[in-house]
Amino acid sequence: MPTAIGDNLAKKKLAANELVLCMGVNQLRTPNIAMIAAACGFDAVYIDLEHNPTSLETAAAVCVAALGMGITPIARVTSHDPHDATRILDCGAQGIMVPHVQNAAEARAIVEACLYAPKGHRSAFGSGPALGYAALGQAEVCRRLNEQTLLMAMIETPEAVANAEAIAAVEGIDVLHIGASDLSTEMGIPGQYQHERMRAAFETVAKAARSHGKSMGVGGVRQDFEFQSWLLRLGVRYLTGGSDVGYILSAGRADVKQLRELKLS
């Protein structure tokens, strides 16, 4: 689905209650990873700056490549420092994923940092990569970027689950995104995504998102398609399907297994 530069495909699909599929970028460093993701049919890429040594310059290049392919570049930032988010937004990201959001105050801080007045207090920046350097006045730049920027609060602890209703109520937050790996680990059941306590957490966050007209996202469940089907029925509309490393390892291991089984004579 091609889009004009400046349009946010993921945000548009979420607003229409359509499924957004995202690919994680963890280790590959060249901009063509965004082209590969688009060729696979993904709607978005998220560049993981939290767990990997990717530089701002590299992340910016991937963002610009994604924009050129009409898919949404999202950056998972390292912390709640507002400059982590605003610098990559200025470099072309159309979405910001903030880890470990615990409460409404932290969610409001994301909005304050990432949106322009009157919705927030993002430092003014001209028409950069996210708008294709279009000749626009500052008022139009602010309006368009406020409309097109996707803000995602990651729910990764029992405290955050308990506060999901308040987080969802924050104007400007678009997606409540459960980080299944961190949440299950914090619960003392690492990797047990279908545990009854995890299912209850998914249901709590889904209800909160639904009651405030927000979208729900999930990452970390990867290739458990039956469970992902349950999540979609629950209301999840943003799924991280896998990552560059995961796909390479999966395909590589499968091929090596088959090749090792071939007879030598």
Indicate the SS3 state at residue 15.
helix
116 vs 6: which has the higher pLDDT? 116
What confidence score (pLDDT) does residue 2 get? 47
Instruction: Decide if 265 is inside a domain.
Output: no
Other Cβ atoms within 10 Å of 48 Cβ, number: 25
When pLDDT is averaged across residues 71-99 and rounded to a whole number, the result is: 97
Look at the chain and report how many structural domains it folds into. Answer: 1
**Distance, CA of 196 to CA of 181 (rounded, Å):** 15
Region 156-163: mean pLDDT is 99
**Does the residue 4 lie in any domain?**
no
Q: Is residue 188, in this structure, part of any structural domain at all?
A: yes
Q: Mean pLDDT, to the nearest integer, of 211-234?
A: 92
Judge residue 73's burial from the number of C-beta atoms within 10 Å of its C-beta, 0-12 exposed, 13-18 middle, 19 or more buried. Answer: buried
pLDDT tens per residue across span 167-216: 999 999 999 999 999 999 999 999 999 999 999 999 999 999 999 999 99
Determine the average pLDDT of the residues in 130-156: 96
The answer to whether position 154 is within a domain reads yes
Domain range holding 220? 9-260
Lowest mean pLDDT segment, chosen from 40-49, 90-99, 160-169, 222-231 = 222-231
71 falls within a domain: yes
pLDDT digits (tens, 9 = 90+) for 43-77: 999 999 999 989 999 999 999 999 999 999 999 99
pLDDT classification of 5: cutoffs 50, 70, 90: low
1 part of a folded domain = no
Give the CATH number of the domain where residue 235 resides.
Answer: 3.20.20.60
Q: Which of 51, 80, 100, 121 is catalytic?
A: 51
Whether 105 is in a domain gets the answer yes
pLDDT surpasses 90 at 92: yes
Q: CA 106 to CA 153: how far, in whole Å?
A: 9
The interaxial angle of helices 82-90 and 56-69, nearest 10 deg, is: 50
Judge whether 51 counts as a catalytic residue.
yes
pTM of the model as a whole = 0.94
Q: Is 2 part of any domain?
A: no
Q: What is the pLDDT of residues 112-133, one digit of tens each?
A: 999 999 999 999 988 999 999 9
- Rounded mean pLDDT of 102-107? 98
